[in-house]
Amino acid sequence: MKLLITGAGGQLGSEWVDFCQERGISFNSFTSSELDIYDVDKIENTIVSLCPDVIINCAAYTKVDEAEENKESAIQINGSAVKVLADSCKKHSIKLVHYSTDYVFAGTKSDKENNPEGYKEEDSTDPVNVYGYSKLKGEEAIKDSGCEFLLLRVSWLCGQYGNNFVKTMLKLGSEKKEINIVDDQYGAPTFTDQVVEQTFELIQQEKSGVYHLSSDGLITWYQFSKEIFKQKRIDVKVNPVSSSEFKTKAKRPFFSKLSTKKISNIERIQILDWKEGLQRLLAKL
């Protein structure tokens, strides 16, 4: 099996490159600057020359607040470019693995009450910001293309590469004695090492369709930060505050939990508790 990894410079793409190198998996990887997935000719030429069996698409526009002012760019990268990739995969009979987000859901308080274990794969989507809308456009393009696909939604993504909440907390913890963290947004972190391991297992088992990848548990950002500092033994006072105290350009969902019931029924896939996932990440950092 030969893999082609796009967006290899991001936190998820970098994790994929490490994974393949460590396990001796045949792969080619390109950063988003090296391979623009919106460029039809480049995609076609790359596929024809490399003949991958599976394309792992990690290329994405991920700046949630900036997307509000750069709607066209977000939709082009997360929607239109994904259509180009999906259409090429259909044409050449290549399986497409693509990552989406919890932000395709509305994340309302009533959804939390009705879905305490999290959103299921088949639940209705209704994004509340441009980023979520652009990712939903990518999902729709893949489904409409007719290609064989694995569509994997993740939430609160954290890993050893790139920028994420865990790294931000470690930086703040080293600089400040007191910080304020939102305590009214609920979800669970997804760790990149588990994402890659679980995705590869799904590929090996020739699974297709939509799956949610995340960790066990339901917490707020405040609870997440407290555990980060506890595990790292960093002495910093954390104050729980409401979202209204942090003005952001993009509206954030109140509830971001993804149900992992479907994927937990797959043989050889284990869903870790979020604290254990955090412990593994902190050990790498």
Take residue 137 and report the two structure tokens written for it.
């456009």
pLDDT tens-place string over residues 126-163: 999 999 999 999 999 999 999 999 999 999 999 999 99
- pLDDT for the residue 247: 87
- Per the CB < 8 A criterion, the answer to whether 136 and 103 are in contact is no
- pLDDT for the residue 11: 96
| Among 193, 175, 185, 191, CA closest to 229 | 175
- pLDDT for the residue 190: 98
Take residue 269 and report the two structure tokens written for it.
């896939």
- pLDDT for the residue 254: 96
- pLDDT for the residue 185: 97
Q: Which member of 61, 99, 103, 131 is catalytic?
A: 131
- pLDDT for the residue 120: 98
| Among 117, 122, 89, CA closest to 104 | 122
- The series of mean pLDDT values per 10 residues for the chain, 285 residues long, is 97 98 98 96 97 98 97 98 98 98 97 95 98 98 98 98 97 96 97 98 98 98 98 97 93 97 97 98 96
- pLDDT for the residue 246: 87
C-alpha triplet 218, 220, 221: angle, nearest 5°: 130
- pLDDT for the residue 82: 98
21 by DSSP, 3-state: which?
helix
Write out the E strands in the chain.
2-6, 26-30, 54-57, 95-101, 149-154, 157-158, 178-182, 186-187, 190-191, 209-212, 219-220, 237-241
Q: Which domains does the chain have, with CATH numbers?
A: 2-164+190-215+256-272 (3.40.50.720)
The Cα 275–Cα 20 span in angstroms is: 26
Reply yes or no on whether 131 is catalytic. yes
